[in-house]
Structure 1
């Protein structure tokens, strides 16, 4: 091969390389252009408020005057001097312990029922999911009337069944279970996710178990539960974070009472950040509480993810 041919071949490869590089650069610019609105929105509405709240957590700030840097004083007050903080932690923990297992069990049970080949099961699915799309505040307000101890439907039905009545939302012992009942009104969203997981389980496994004479209990614990364990893990994380951030139900139903029995952390954050008339808001202290709640959620999710491989099934293992 002559020197001229070699030079021409080298020049041709160089042109192809430059053309490929320009195409790659053009594709990258187009990708960044499409991502720019999402990145901008994340920076403006998530990242910047997150940084500002971290700063406010270290200040004494009421939203009107300039923030005064106080270091960790808000956190010291929170853990040692605030009379409402630890009752709020206990109320939130109680809510999590009541709501998370109940939502998982009821959601999975409803999903297994709706996974059956029964006449009219599609209408049942629709009715069970309907509460999820209804206006939240309106439905919670209706539940407040249901739990009215004088004329509410709950005590009326209990009287018909010759069961003891209750003060429900006015009782320190029954207020939180009542709030959890209202939260379980929206268990249809959990049911739908479990239903999708159940329908993804290969039917061949059930057919093989049936041929082997396996009982329904064995099929559930040996096939169904292991196969949907990744979705179960997802639901645990979702339900825990939902319970920790619950606000609408306690706020509308009880306002945190009676006493501190339903004064969950989100209500405490709201009451400090948006004080009642005649009181100055404590946005710095509220920001400190937000960060404590945020770190608790991160720790729980991280711990759950760390040990998820122990109890979740993967066909790649």
Structure 2
């Protein structure tokens, strides 16, 4: 590894370690990672297929869910093929441009997922607070515009991260102590003033996350206010049950991301490196794997259609 410990002028490749300190166990670690990735691909593909082929599901809530499923496939695929290559084939090298591309897609797709969850919270607010006007307020055209706005916001804000790294010419090492090209991990290798990188990364993350969490909090505050005005207990429970899957999705998305963000920026001295990396991978893999399971279990239309698919397939077998 001594060959890596020198000054580099804009290296052509980086060296991804994988899980630092656990290199000898990479094969065993790859098993749950691979299972999680296959589950994410299969589950989200089934959700997309069901929504696409069932005309009754071509409604705003399900269109947003299909956006989330499509994004989850892309999100998990930004890191898993390379990570499994590291685990199985010791394929540690990654081209400089490919590294910046991976960084862009990881952070931008994370921002898109956050925006979609905020849009889904607004959808639940309209559905519960204005049920008779739901179809006229949330049209498919409006949902398409919201989706486009979420995508444009993510691209514009996140594209600055790799641009700021390109202004850094000298690097202490090409060894990235991470399993993928995470922005902070790459910036720490650079010589020179990295203050703009650190400040923009912090401000960009907070601006997206805080804005989306404010929309989610406001939407559910309005939902709770409307629910408690419902006279019957059964009516309140039925209204709240429609939000259950979305609340679970919010928790499994934001909680791992929050802990990963804090541990990577403020817990370097107290938390072992492999814990940082596990948290960073968890915040990508856990939501993408569990979202289709959560929505499949809590959304009757998707659950029934999925059960019919498997029953039909089993019957033919």
User: Which structure has the highest helix share of the two?
Assistant: 2
Q: TM-score normalised to the size of structure 2?
A: 0.28
Q: TM-score normalised to the size of structure 1?
A: 0.28
The structure with more radius of gyration: 1
